[in-house]
Amino acid sequence: MFDLDEENRLIRDTTRSFAEDVVMPRAAAIDEEDAFPFEIYRQMGELGLLSMTLPAAYGGSEADTLAWTIVLEELARASAAVADAHMVNKLMCDIILSEARDAVRQKYLPGMGRGDIICAIAQTEADTGSDVAAIKTTATPVDGGYRLNGTKQFITFAGICDIAVVVATVDRSLGRKGIGLFLADAHAEGFRRGAKNKIMGVRGLATGELVFEDVFVPNDHRLAEPGAGMRRSLTSLNSGRIGMAAQSVGIAQAAYEQALAFARQRHAFGGPIANLQAIQFMLADMSVGIEAGRLMTRRAAAARDAGVDVVRIVSEAKLFASEMAQRVVDDALQIHGAAGYSTETTVERLQRDVRVYKIWEGTSQIQRIVIARQLLAA
């Protein structure tokens, strides 16, 4: 059902070559230095990867969700940070494309597709993650627009963004009905970058705090009116969860390849440890899990492209793929033994990277709640 056609095979092969030739040699340094890879990001723009899902009118090639997941998987196989940078850009392009006026689209989307403009999503706060309705950042109506006030935490691109889609409420007492989306310029007065977050994995994304102190957002930069912001945020989560699943598969694939190569060359008990049945069973389980995760991810992508209700499907894909990837990376490190615990091995970095995929875009517990509600409502 999910055999790739010629076009998607070309996308996969092109991305794989880029990932292996450009990204992989820099992956360890990106993690160690925790510095955003601007050069690689702009190369993705030049290659058309950042603009791939945009309409032609904004410089894109109008690729579908399935093609996007193929790209994410290949990038994540090389570097989780580079893959996630690609994903955030795509999600922000989607929001601006669907919610902004054409003048705003023309102003930002071509540059985002080239990698010249970087857009963050400012949603998470110190006390709110998956509970979007509890957002405390406010957007107060004023003459000609809104004033934003609040603090966001763990924001990808916080330290480098040119613009930010800000999730804020016009009235906290309204709960989800007060939530809107606002596009803020990083050069606006009162837009401040706070502390950089020191995170365990997926380093190099300038993750940190954003502070808004009476930041003015003109009316034409309001993306979703109060009451519609919650719906739009949840819609974005559907794409984000597919992206998380695709990245998880890519990380798992990288770990499996590392484990397979190590098992063939590491000798113990008179031969390669790959000859030991215990190791063979671990490798077999890795392969099965990766194939299942890949199929679930592509099924979710195909369903989204078909326009059907994907809430349960994408949550199932994200839940399975993220937890599968954790198991695969754990087993890969176990196969490496003491060597896997060394910072000089790829699997050590993968172990730190993979852990967040059971948290991002809704924790595993949230996914189970979503899935159960969908089942019980049927």
Distance CA(16)–CA(115), nearest Å, equals 19
Our answer to whether residue 209 is catalytic in this structure is no
Assign 86 to helix, strand or coil: helix
Assign 145 to helix, strand or coil: strand
Nearest one of 241, 231, 375, 233 to 315, comparing CA atoms:
241
b (16+ CB within 10 A) / e for 50-81 = bbbbbeeebbbeebbbbbbbbbbbbbbbbbbb
> Which distant-in-sequence residues (6+ apart) come within 8 Å of 131 by Cβ?
none
DSSP summary character for residue 100 = S
Nearest one of 129, 30, 77, 88 to 354, comparing CA atoms:
77
Task: Choose the catalytic residue: 73, 74, 125, 361.
Answer: 361
Are 72 and 246 in contact, with CB atoms under 8 Å apart?
A: yes
- Backbone dihedral angles phi then psi of residue 166, each to the nearest 5 degrees: -105, 125
How many CB atoms lie under 10 A from the CB of residue 335?
Answer: 25
DSSP codes joined into one string, 198-225: --SSS-SS--EEEEEEEEEEEGGGEEE-
b (16+ CB within 10 A) / e for 1-21 = eeeeeeebeebbeebbebbee
What is the token pair recorded at 285? 């389980």
Nearest one of 104, 109, 114 to 93, comparing CA atoms:
109
Pairing state between β 191-196 and 179-185? unpaired
Position of tokens 């627009």? 145
What is the token pair recorded at 212? 């808004």
Catalytic residues: 361
